[in-house]
Amino acid sequence: MNPRRVVITGLGAVTPLGNSVEQYWQGLSKGVSGAVPITRFDASKFKTRFACEVKDFDAKQYIEHKEARKMDIFQHYAMAVAEQAILDAGFNMETLNKRRVGVIWGSGIGGLRSLQMEVVDFAKGDGTPRFNPFFIPKMIADLAPGHISIKYGFLGPNYTTVSACASANNAIIDAFNYIRWGKANVILTGGSEAAVTEAGIGGFNANKALSERNDGYETASRPYDKDRDGFVLGEGGACLILEEYEHAMKRGAKIYAEMVGGGFSSDAHHITAPHPEGIGVIYCMEDALEDAGITPDKIDYINTHGTSTPIGDPQEVIAVQKVFGDHAYKLNMSSTKSMTGHLLGAAGAVEALACVLAIQNQLVPPTINLFELDSQLDSKLNFTANQAQARKIDYVLSNDFGFGGHNTSLIFKKFEG
C-alpha cells in the first residue's frame, strides 16, 4: 500500500510567550524570554526561583467550571489548544466522520500538581484516607486525549505517549503513521505539561538539571553559551491537526505544511546523560531523513533539542555535524527553548509548531541569550544567535530527546499541492 500524504491543517498554542498561535509566534520571532519569578508557589527556599510560566490563562474560556475542577492544569492546557486547533481547521462537525478522527497526545509527567496536592493533604491528616474522587483521572497522562475525545466525540485512536521530553514528538510520529497507513483521516496531536510545582522544581534541582541564575532569570536559558548552567522549566502545550491530504483537499482546508518523516532511537547509555558521541541522535536523524526520502542537504533549518545543559548541547551539535557534513554550515540551527524554557513532555509540540510557523513565515526564530559561544562548538555553524533570520525554508527538522535515552526527530516540508 502506498503511504498517503499527511498535512497540517489546524494549530493551537498555550505557551509562556502567549496563549494563542499568533502571540506565540510574535514572541518567538522577536526573541522574547518567557521566564519570570515563580508565582505558582512560594519558591523562596528553592535553589531555582523562576520558570517559564503560562501567563493570564483562564481555563473557563474553554471548559465549564464544574468540568475544569475534575482536571489537572496539564489537561486544561490540552483542552484549550485542541479547541483552538479545531476552530482553526474549520471542520464541519456535523459531517465529519468522527470514527476516523483520533487524538494522540504527549505528556512526560501528567498531573504532577494533583498528585502532589493529594499526597500532601493526606500526610497532613490523621491517616484517614480522604482522597478526591477525581484524583486518579486528574493525575494520569492519558486523560488529556481522553477528555478531548469525550468533548468532541472523536472515536479513532486515543492514547498518550510517555517518553520524557520526547513524548510529544513520539505522539506526532504515531499520528503521522496512523494517517499515512490509512488508519485515520484526522488526528489531533501534540502535548501538554504543567510541572511548575514544588515537586517539579525541587526534583529537577536535586538532579542539578535546572539553571540557578535567579538574579538574571530572563537570560538563564542560554543554549550553546559558554556560561549555561541548566535548563529553565516551562509549561503549556500545543496542538497540531494532522490530516490526510485528499481529505483536506476535498473540504477545502487551508494547509500550513506537510509532515514527511519521523525517526526515533535509544541511546542505551544512561538514565539522564546523553551518549557522549551522540550515537542515538545520529540514528534518529538518519532515520527521519530516510523516512522522508530526502538527502541531508535538503534541510534548511534544525530546531534543536538545545536545553541549555552543559552536557547535552555539545552532543547534539556533534551529531548534526556527523549527519549533515559540510551542509551543516549552510543550514540554520536554533533552540526555541531559550525563549519558552523546557516544556518537558510538551516540548516537541511547541517546537513542531515553531517549525511549521517558520516555514509559513520563511523566518528562523533565534537562539536568544547566546552571548559567547561555548569553545567546544564550531563557530562557523549558524546558531541563529539572538535575532531571527529570514531565509528560504523548504524543509525543517525538529529534535527532542528524553531521560532514558529516548531520541526523536520530525521533518516538515513546505506544502506544494
pLDDT digits (tens, 9 = 90+) for 334-383: 999 999 999 999 999 999 999 999 999 999 999 999 999 999 999 999 99
Residue 206 is inside which H or E element, if any?
helix 198-206
- Whether the pLDDT of residue 1 is over 80: the answer is no
Which pLDDT score, from 0 to 100, does residue 277 have?
83
Strands 50-51 and 36-37: antiparallel
Which pLDDT score, from 0 to 100, does residue 275 have?
85
- Whether the pLDDT of residue 282 is over 80: the answer is yes
Choice among 239, 305, 355, 406 that is catalytic:
305
195 vs 272, which has greater pLDDT? Answer: 195
Read off the pLDDT of residues 121-167 as tens digits, 9 standing for 90 and up. Answer: 999 999 999 999 999 999 999 999 999 999 999 999 999 999 999 99
Read off the pLDDT of residues 383-401 as tens digits, 9 standing for 90 and up. Answer: 999 999 999 999 999 999 9
Which pLDDT score, from 0 to 100, does residue 27 have?
98
- Is 165 in the active site? yes
- Whether the pLDDT of residue 92 is over 80: the answer is yes
Which pLDDT score, from 0 to 100, does residue 276 have?
84
Mean pLDDT value of segment 306-325: 95
Read off the pLDDT of residues 173-199 as tens digits, 9 standing for 90 and up. Answer: 999 999 999 999 999 999 999 999 999
Q: What is the mean pLDDT of the chain?
A: 97
Question: What are the grid coordinates assigned to 184, written together?
Answer: 485515520
Q: Residue 159: beta bridge partners?
A: 104
How many CB atoms are closer than 10 A to CB 129?
6
Which pLDDT score, from 0 to 100, does residue 278 have?
85
- How big is the chain, counted in residues? 417
- Is 269 in the active site? no
What phi and psi, each to the nearest 5 degrees, are found at residue 82? -65, -45
Read off the pLDDT of residues 40-56 as tens digits, 9 standing for 90 and up. Answer: 999 999 999 999 999 99
- Is 305 in the active site? yes
Read off the pLDDT of residues 50-82 as tens digits, 9 standing for 90 and up. Answer: 999 999 999 999 999 999 999 999 999 999 999
Choice among 165, 239, 284, 355 that is catalytic:
165
Q: Does residue 393 sit in helix, strand or coil?
A: coil
DSSP summary character for residue 356: H
- 355: nearest Cα among 90, 80, 168, 101: 168
Which pLDDT score, from 0 to 100, does residue 417 have?
82
Read off the pLDDT of residues 212-242 as tens digits, 9 standing for 90 and up. Answer: 999 999 999 999 999 999 999 999 999 999 9
| Span of 254-268, 272-286, 295-309 with lowest mean pLDDT | 272-286
> Which amino acid, one-letter code, is at 21?
V
Instruction: Give the CA distances from residue 97 to residues 100, 111, 156, 261, in Å, rounded to whole numbers and listed in that order.
Output: 6, 31, 10, 26
Residues 309 and 228 sit within 8 Å (Cβ to Cβ): yes
Read off the pLDDT of residues 10-32 as tens digits, 9 standing for 90 and up. Answer: 999 999 999 999 999 999 999 99
pTM attached to this predicted model: 0.97
Strands 301-303 and 395-402: parallel
Choice among 76, 147, 247, 342 that is catalytic:
342
Instruction: Give the CA distances from residue 125 to residues 119, 132, 198, in Å, rounded to whole numbers and listed in that order.
Output: 10, 14, 20
Which pLDDT score, from 0 to 100, does residue 136 have?
97
Question: What are the grid coordinates assigned to 30, written together?
Answer: 522577536
Residue 27 is inside which H or E element, if any?
helix 21-30
- Whether the pLDDT of residue 274 is over 90: the answer is no
The band of 207, judged by pLDDT with boundaries at 50, 70 and 90, is very high
Mean pLDDT value of segment 85-102: 97
- Whether the pLDDT of residue 110 is over 80: the answer is yes
